[in-house]
C-alpha cells in the first residue's frame, strides 16, 4: 500500500537530474547548426531538447506558463503567426512546406519556452553559461581555422557556410549573419553573468574577447548595431557606474589595438567599418539589394494582406527570386495580417514581460530588455526566424528573469508526506 501511495513520484525522482544535464549540454551546442543530420534542420541541440521535453511531459513537469501572466498573449501570438501561414499555404498549395516551417516555429516559440520554464533557476543559469561557452568555442574554432585554411580548403570538410567565399565567418553556426547574432546574444548573457558574479572577471574578459573576434570576422553590420544596442541597454538599465567600468576600458583597449596596427579582417573593414565611418549605409554589404526587396514586399503587401502567399512562396513570385530580409514584411506577404499581428504580439509580450521583470530585479530586467531589443532588431533584417538559434537565447534569458518570482518554477522536493486523519486508520489509502 505504501508503494502505491508514492507511485506517482517515481518519475520526477528518476529524471529530474537527467533532464537538467541534457538541457545544459543542448544549450552548449544551441548555436552549432552544422552539428546536424545531413539535409535536415534537426540539430544535435534540437534532438536533445526534444528528449528533455518528452522527459518533462512523462514526469508531468512540463509547464506551459512560459511568461507568467503574459503566457496567454505569448501563445496567442504563436497561434496567430502559425495560423496565418497555414491559411495562406492551404490556399496556395504549400501545405507540405507549412508542416515543416509551422512545426519548427511551434517548437522554437512554444515547446522550447515550456522546457526552459520547467527548469530550476540553478539549471537555467548554468545553461546560459553553457550557451556562452559554446558560442565562444565555435568562434575560437573559426578564427583559428581561417588563419591557416582558405575557403577551398574548408569547404570539403565543413561545407560552404563555415567560411564564405568572400571571407565572412559562419563558424559552427553555418551562416555569417546568424553567427554574428549568436555572438551578440552570448555577450549579453556573459555580461549578465559577470555582473551577477557567476563568472570571474578574467574568464569573462577572455571569453568575451574570443566572441568579439568571431563577431568581427562574421562582418555583419546588423550584429554590430545590435551589439551596441543590447549592451548599451543592459548597462544603462543596470548602473551608470558599471557602464563606466566596462565600456570605457573596453573602448580604450579597442582604440589602442587599432592604433598600434592590430590586424582587423579586411572583410570587416569593407562591409562594416567603412559604412560606419562614412555613415553611408549603401556601403554596408548587401544593403542596396535588401532595400529593393523591402520596396517590392511593401508593394506586394496590398494583394496579400488578408490571405498570404503561403510559406516560402515570396521567393517564387519575387522578381529577385529571394525572400525579403525583413520578417515583418515577409510574414505580412506569406501569412497575411494574422501572421504579422502574431509577430507583433510576441514582441509586445517580450517588452511587457521585460519591464515587469525590471520592476522586481534590475539586472534580470535589463538583460531581458536587451535580448528583446536584439530580437526586434534582427526581425527587421532577417527572413524566417524559425530556427532555434533565434528564439532559444531570448527565451532562456526570460526564463532566468521569471525564475525568482514565478510560482510555476519549482524544483522537486521529494514525495509528498502522508499523515492520516486523527482517529483514522493509519494503513488506509486516501
Per the listing, cell 555580461 goes with 191
pTM tops 0.85, yes or no = yes
pLDDT of residue 329: 96
pLDDT of residue 267: 78
Contact 329, 381 (CB under 8 A): no
Q: What is the 3-state secondary structure (H, E, C) of 335-403?
A: HHHHHHHHHHHHHHHHHHHHHHHHHHCHHHHHHHHHHHHHHHHHHCCCCCCCCHHHHHHHHHHHHHHHC
For residue 404, what are the CA distances in angstroms to 128, 146, 149, 355, 364? 16, 43, 47, 15, 10
Q: What are the pLDDT tens digits along the chain (430 aa)? A: 444 444 333 333 334 578 889 999 999 999 999 999 887 788 999 999 999 999 888 888 888 778 888 999 999 999 999 999 999 999 999 999 999 999 999 999 999 999 999 998 999 999 999 999 999 999 999 999 998 999 999 999 888 899 998 889 999 999 999 999 999 999 999 999 999 999 998 899 899 999 999 999 999 989 999 999 999 899 888 876 666 666 667 666 766 666 666 677 777 777 776 666 666 565 666 767 888 999 999 999 999 999 999 999 999 999 989 999 999 999 999 999 999 999 999 999 999 999 999 999 999 999 999 999 999 999 999 999 999 999 999 999 999 999 876 544 444 444 444 444 444 444 333 3
CA 166 to chain centre: 26
Write down the domain spans for the chain.
Answer: 11-402
Amino acid at each position: 500500500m505504501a508503494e502505491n501511495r508514492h507511485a506517482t513520484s517515481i518519475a520526477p525522482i528518476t529524471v529530474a537530474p537527467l533532464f537538467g544535464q541534457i538541457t545544459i549540454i543542448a544549450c552548449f551546442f544551441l548555436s552549432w547548426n552544422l552539428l546536424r543530420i545531413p539535409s535536415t534542420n534537426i540539430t544535435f541541440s534540437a534532438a536533445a531538447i526534444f528528449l528533455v521535453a518528452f522527459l518533462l511531459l512523462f514526469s508531468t513537469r512540463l509547464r506551459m506558463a512560459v511568461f507568467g501572466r503574459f503566457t496567454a498573449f505569448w501563445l496567442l501570438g504563436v497561434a496567430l503567426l502559425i495560423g496565418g501561414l497555414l491559411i495562406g499555404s492551404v490556399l496556395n498549395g504549400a501545405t507540405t512546406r507549412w508542416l515543416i516551417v509551422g512545426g519548427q516555429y511551434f517548437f522554437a516559440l512554444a515547446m522550447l519556452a515550456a522546457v526552459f520554464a520547467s527548469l530550476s533557476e540553478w539549471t537555467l543559469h548554468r545553461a546560459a553559461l553553457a550557451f556562452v561557452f559554446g558560442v565562444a568555442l565555435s568562434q575560437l574554432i573559426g578564427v583559428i581555422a581561417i588563419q591557416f585554411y582558405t575557403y577551398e580548403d574548408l569547404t570539403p570538410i565543413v561545407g560552404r557556410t563555415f567560411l564564405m567565399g568572400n571571407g565572412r565567418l559562419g563558424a559552427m553556426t553555418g551562416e555569417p549573419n546568424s553567427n554574428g547574432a549568436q555572438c551578440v546574444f552570448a555577450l549579453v548573457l556573459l555580461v549578465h553573468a559577470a555582473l551577477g558574479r557567476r563568472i570571474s572577471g578574467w574568464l569573462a574578459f577572455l571569453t568575451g574577447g574570443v566572441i568579439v573576434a568571431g563577431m568581427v570576422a562574421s562582418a555583419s553590420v546588423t550584429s554590430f548595431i545590435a551589439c551596441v544596442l543590447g549592451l548599451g541597454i543592459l548597462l544603462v538599465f543596470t548602473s551608470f557606474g558599471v557602464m563606466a567600468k566596462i565600456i570605457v576600458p573596453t573602448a580604450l583597449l579597442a582604440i589602442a589595438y587599432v592604433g598600434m596596427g592590430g590586424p582587423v579582417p579586411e572583410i570587416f573593414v569593407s562591409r562594416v567599418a567603412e559604412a560606419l565611418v562614412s555613415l553611408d549605409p549603401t556601403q554596408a554589404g548587401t544593403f542596396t539589394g535588401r532595400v529593393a526587396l523591402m520596396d517590392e514586399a511593401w508593394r506586394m503587401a496590398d494583394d496579400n494582406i488578408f490571405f498570404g502567399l503561403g510559406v516560402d512562396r515570396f521567393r517564387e513570385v519575387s522578381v529577385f527570386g529571394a525572400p525579403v530580409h525583413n520578417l515583418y514584411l515577409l510574414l505580412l506577404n506569406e501569412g497575411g495580417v494574422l501572421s504579422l499581428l502574431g509577430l507583433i504580439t510576441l514582441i509586445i509580450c517580450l517588452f511587457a514581460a521585460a519591464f515587469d521583470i525590471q520592476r522586481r530585479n534590475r539586472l534580470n530586467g535589463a538583460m531581458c530588455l536587451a535580448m528583446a531589443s536584439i530580437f526586434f532588431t534582427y526581425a527587421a533584417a532577417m527572413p524566417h526566424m524559425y530556427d532555434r538559434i533565434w528564439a532559444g537565447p531570448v527565451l532562456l534569458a526570460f526564463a532566468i528573469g521569471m525564475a525568482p518570482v514565478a510560482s510555476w518554477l519549482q524544483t522537486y522536493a521529494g514525495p509528498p508526506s502522508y499523515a492520516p486523519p486523527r482517529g483514522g486508520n493509519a494503513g488506509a489509502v486516501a
